[in-house]
Amino acid sequence: MQCIINRRAQFSASHRYWLPELSPEENVARFGKCTQAPGHGHNYVLYVSMVGELDQYGMVLNLSDVKHVIRREVTGQLDFSYLNEVWPEFRATLPTTEHMARVLWQRLSSHLPLVKIQLFEHPELWAEYTGNGMEAYLTISTHFSAAHRLALPNLSYEDNLEIYGKCARPHGHGHNYHLEVTVKGEIDPRTGMLADLVELQTAIEDHVVEPFDHTFLNKDIPYFAEVVPTAENIAVHIRDLLREPIRTTGATLYKVKLIESPNNSAEVYCPVPEAPAPVRQQAELAAV
């Protein structure tokens, strides 16, 4: 039986975004504060996902061996380093989070049966790489606070209570929503970026965070005048709002995850993933 296991590691390193072929003004316009010398640092967190068959001891791999490989090939070399100079890959291409994830895959893939590399630059920005050429995923995390009421306008208060429980109470209630927006794209071989990070953050801020923050969703967001603002429906609406603005940055929206509380969250994809074959077949039969 196959199983995926994950190993966490961490390292601290600094880097700088600066292309010598650009003027100082062009670098600042493109990379902002990240151009400041001598650079800035992060506490990186790395997750290495591996797949394999369970052996007679109930293990895919000996995690002690995995730990030593990651230390030897990655963290031992990168910890307390200046990334732009430590490896040739970061001299040819800027050490962005998404490019680093791809390089870590390349460094580890001959030693471990990888299925995914996930690299957190900080808790609000991380990248994933799954071995697919120059394609990578970048996730931006943010938040907004809003109130809502769960109730269908054509039902009585009693009926809405039956469906939505306390969430149907007439004056609503609030949440500190945590939003994760994942985009995918091709890593630029020089800048190391799949899209301009500032443009991505601005799109999310302008189209979601600023309009939604400190609102009563049912009354302040026209879409929810008739659509019940469940976590699922909010996530779908955010996906639809962001699809085109993110496309203009050069990336493609992949996933929106909305965390309503520590106990409740919803994820929607763009485009919607194809259903498993048995589900598709049932749907096709039902349509005949």
Distances in Å between the Cα of 226 and the Cα atoms of 56, 216, 240, 268 are 57, 14, 17, 20
In this model, does residue 53 exceed pLDDT 50? yes
Confidence of residue 271 (pLDDT cuts 50, 70, 90): confident
The predicted pLDDT at position 281 comes to 45
Q: Which CATH architecture has domain 1-133?
A: 2-Layer Sandwich (3.30)
Write down the pTM of the prediction: 0.90
How many Cβ atoms from other residues are within 10 Å of residue 105's Cβ? Answer: 20
What is the architecture of the domain spanning 135-145+176-288? 2-Layer Sandwich (3.30)
Q: Which residues are catalytic?
A: 167, 214, 260
Mean per-residue pLDDT, 272-287: 46
What is the rounded CA–CA span in Å between residue 256 and residue 162? 29
The mean of the pLDDT values for the chain is 93
